[in-house]
Structure 1
Amino acid sequence: MTRLLVRNAVLLTCDPARPDPFRGWFTVADDGRLAAVEPGDPPAGTTAEEVLDAGGALVGPGFVSAHSHLFTSGFRGIAMDSSLYGWLEVMLGYTAAADAEDVYWMTRHGAQDFLRNGVTTAYDFTDTGLTFESESAGVSRYGATLPETAYQHAQLRAKVDAGLRHVHSVMLAQGDVPQADTLAQLDEVVAAAATADPDLHLGLALSGTVQWADSRDAAALEVTAMRRHGLLNQPHFLETPHEVELQRSKFDWYADAGALGPDLVFGHFIQTTDEILTRAAAAGCGMSWQPMSNGRLASGVAAVPRMRELGMRVGMGLDDQSCTDVSDPFSNMRTGLALLRATHRDPAALPVRDVLEMHTRGSAEVLGIDDRVGSLRVGRYADFLVVDPRDPDTGPVWDAIGTYVLACSLRNLQQVRVGGRLVAAGSRLTDPAAGEVSGQLHERMARIRRAVDGPR
């Protein structure tokens, strides 16, 4: 039986094989995947368990965040005048007082916040439980020990329980931990992830740490781990505007270790040179761009037009919910447009259609999951948004993509559906546990704050 029929929609499919937008319809099969996507009206006699008449509203794919830290959902507004490492030191000072169950609720809160705001898939950097020390504005390091496996398992469980599709990214041990111990722990994490719901858990990945490492051995270890389990690796790299030459020197650590290639995706990648960009693009590396957090933390503006000119795959992410603060993909797109166009004094630096594709199909492509999410194409999961520019009214629709990206916002987001099933109507989540999640977060964050700051 067909699960859902959507009709009378203005479709923004982000399908490279067909022109958007067009008025059309689609069906969702019992497995939650798109069975048909066509222009016009459905054939007479087409039936489904549920029929959604979109009434001419805009319907696009759920957003894909190619770079996220869901556990940070309880820390919005902290370190509001700090750059990267100062902000990290404040936030991780609090998470050091959290246990695995705390991190579960923090992550689940972040996941349900994404779903409410139209982000249906996320690459999630998990909290490690490791200590973090900032030595200067440009130098920092994690404590030399194994990460807390219980933390990683809790965060995986939280995303599944929230119903968020995800790539689960984990950090390797830091410092002088024996390689055998590090790889044995990774084996355990891989085994645990293999038992997760395959419709929601789209893959495991590494959170590269060369940006914080003292030795080239860190890059070699990451390559060993990548090859051992066929993992994508997304390191935070060339992010902060401090100690830039030191950061740039570490690009060769990855190159010499044999890491450069399609399974290496650089997160942020701001303080680059043209030589670094050319080498990364030639090797097939990808990049994840976080314009809102890059602005909030004064990190800079990535050379996205040059990367795309060189053929590099670029996706977009919402980064930490405590340095993007509002998990709003519409604002993230517009912030990216504004930063690039103002920096280059050229509207062609990033076309509107392109930024929409970068935050949907482009993010899925850079993560290697575009066969499942990121566009409205037959065989992909039916993760989609109903966005109505008439409620509240944004005025005449001169161009559907222009209206969607430039004029619409979370206030126009009427429905979020995952696998065709409704997960949010306006700002209301359908998950009956949504209230409990919020209550747990507030209670636990208050306890953590008292433990770190003392009574207030």
Structure 2
Amino acid sequence: MTKLLVHGATLLTIDPDRLDPFVGWFTVGDDGRITAVSAGEPPVDLAADETLDATGMIVAPGFVSAHSHLFTSGSRGLGMDQALYGWIQAMTAFTEKADAEDIYWMTRHGAQDFLRNGITTAYDFTDVGLPFEAQSSTSSGYVGTIPPVEYQHAQLRAKVDAGLRHVHSVMLAQGAFSFDEALAHVDETVARAAAVESPLHLGVAVSGTVQWAESEATAELEVAAMRKYGLLNQPHLLETAFGVEAQQARFAWYRDAGALGPELVFGHFIQTTPEIIAEAAAAGCGMSWQPLSNGRLASGVASIPEIRAAGMRVGVGLDDQSCTDNADPFSNCRFGMYMLRATRHDPGVMPVRDMLMLHTLGSAEVLGIADDVGSLRVGRYADFLVVDPRDPDTGPVWDAYGTYVLACSLRNLKQVWSAGSLVADGTRLTDPEAGEVVAEVHGRMQRIAASL
């Protein structure tokens, strides 16, 4: 059966075989995946349960955030003038006091905010439920032993209940632990996640912690978990502008542990050297780029042109909602382009079309989920955005990519669809529990604030 027919729109499919925009149509099957895409008018005898006439609109894939921390959604506007570790302390002052039920609502709030803003898939670093201590502007880490499985699992349930497609990333044990204890924790985490039967759940990954680790044993543990379960690992590494030499030395820990390869995706990857880029690229590693976050926290500008030229896969993320604050993928695209162009004095250093590809298909590719999301191609989930450049009017559309990325914004985002179902219409989510989520987060955050 054909569940949905979309026609009349200018399509930005982000399909490598048909990148040029065209006016056309596509259909969605009962499983929520695209069954046909074509230019022109649909066949007159094509019947569908629902038809969307998107004439005059631009339709593109939902944004994919390759690096996100959804639980921070209730902690925006904090650490306003701080770099990474000072900001983390300001933000975690609230989340450290959260229990599993609190973190469920915080995460669900972040997930529904992503959907409202056109982000239909996210790689989500779950909160570990451990206190974070910053010894200085260059040194910090999580304090504790084994992250509670139920606490992390509550965040997976929240993403499913919100309707956000995701990769669920979990942190391994910190502090004094044995390999057996840490891997037993992973056993339980993976088993709990595997029991979640939902097409929204695209897999489990490891949140690497070498950036804060005291010894090479952390990298060895991460590799053991990756190999045992076939997991992707995305560590935060080479992020902050402080303690650069110490961060660069930790890259060798991953090399020596045998971690370098396609399953290792470096989060941020700003304080690099030509040698580090070359080695990571040769091994097939990927990276995630967070332009708004990197600017907000004064972390720096990643060497994206050199990284791409070396052959590394690059995805783009919104990072914490409390350090991008408005979780706006359109702004994230523009800020990324503008930072590179301003620092390189070269307007061609990041083409508009490339930037959109990185925040959709590029993110999906670096996460290994491009067969499911990131483009409007047959077999992929029908996760897409309906953007109206006429309301508010942006003028004539001379180039659909130029208008979509440079001139349109959240105010032009009219609808968000996931698997061929409407999830956001105008400023409103279709989830009847969306208001309850907002009320729960405000009430719980106020309770936590009163206890500080």
Structure 2 length as normaliser, TM-score?
A: 0.99
Taking the TM superposition and a 5 Å limit, the aligned residue runs for 1:246-265 are 246-265=246-265
Deviations 1:268-303 (A, max 9, x none): 000000000000000000000000000000000000
Deviations 1:183-222 (A, max 9, x none): 1011001001001134100010000000000100000010
1:66 alignment partner in structure 2: 66
Separation in 1 of the partners of 2:144 and 2:275?
33
2:285 alignment partner in structure 1: 285
Residue 3 of structure 1 aligns to a residue whose secondary structure is strand
2:301 alignment partner in structure 1: 301
**What is the deviation of 1:141?**
1.3
1:100 alignment partner in structure 2: 100
Report if the CA contact (8 A) 1:219-1:259 is conserved: yes
Separation in 2 of the partners of 1:220 and 1:189?
19
Separation in 1 of the partners of 2:424 and 2:374?
18
Taking the TM superposition and a 5 Å limit, the aligned residue runs for 1:27-426 are 27-426=27-426
Deviations 1:345-394 (A, max 9, x none): 10121000000000000000000000000000000000000001001101
**What is the deviation of 1:407?**
0.2
Separation in 2 of the partners of 1:17 and 1:52?
25
Separation in 1 of the partners of 2:372 and 2:156?
19
Separation in 2 of the partners of 1:139 and 1:17?
46
Separation in 2 of the partners of 1:309 and 1:43?
43
Count matched residues: 452
- Considering only aligned residues, what root-mean-square deviation do their CA atoms show, in Å? 0.6
Report if the CA contact (8 A) 1:144-1:177 is conserved: no
Separation in 1 of the partners of 2:86 and 2:367?
29
Unaligned segments of structure 1, at least 5 residues: none
Separation in 1 of the partners of 2:328 and 2:385?
13
Deviations 1:299-326 (A, max 9, x none): 0000000000001000000000000001
Residue 180 of structure 1 aligns to a residue whose secondary structure is helix
Separation in 2 of the partners of 1:192 and 1:387?
38
Which amino acid in structure 1 is aligned with residue 88 of structure 2? L
Residue 2 of structure 2 aligns to a residue whose secondary structure is coil
1:439 alignment partner in structure 2: 439
Which amino acid in structure 1 is aligned with residue 106 of structure 2? M
**What is the deviation of 1:20?**
2.0
Separation in 1 of the partners of 2:161 and 2:22?
35
Residue 322 of structure 1 aligns to a residue whose secondary structure is helix
Report if the CA contact (8 A) 2:267-2:289 is conserved: yes
Residue 47 of structure 2 aligns to a residue whose secondary structure is coil
Which amino acid in structure 1 is aligned with residue 89 of structure 2? E
Separation in 1 of the partners of 2:19 and 2:435?
41
Which amino acid in structure 2 is aligned with residue 444 of structure 1? R
Separation in 2 of the partners of 1:448 and 1:428?
28
Which amino acid in structure 2 is aligned with residue 213 of structure 1? A
Report if the CA contact (8 A) 2:75-2:94 is conserved: no
Separation in 1 of the partners of 2:390 and 2:10?
13
The ranges of structure 1 where at least 4 consecutive aligned residues each deviate by more than 4 angstroms after the TM superposition are none
Which amino acid in structure 1 is aligned with residue 443 of structure 2? E
Separation in 1 of the partners of 2:400 and 2:185?
49
Question: Which stretch has the larger CA shift, 142-151 or 326-335?
Answer: 142-151
Report if the CA contact (8 A) 1:160-1:197 is conserved: no
Separation in 1 of the partners of 2:74 and 2:285?
33
**What is the deviation of 1:19?**
3.1
Which amino acid in structure 1 is aligned with residue 269 of structure 2? F
Which amino acid in structure 1 is aligned with residue 273 of structure 2? T
Report if the CA contact (8 A) 1:9-1:59 is conserved: yes
**What is the deviation of 1:174?**
0.7
Separation in 2 of the partners of 1:388 and 1:310?
37
Report if the CA contact (8 A) 2:417-2:424 is conserved: yes
Structure 1 length as normaliser, TM-score?
A: 0.99
Report if the CA contact (8 A) 2:166-2:203 is conserved: yes
Which amino acid in structure 2 is aligned with residue 324 of structure 1? T
**What is the deviation of 1:18?**
1.1
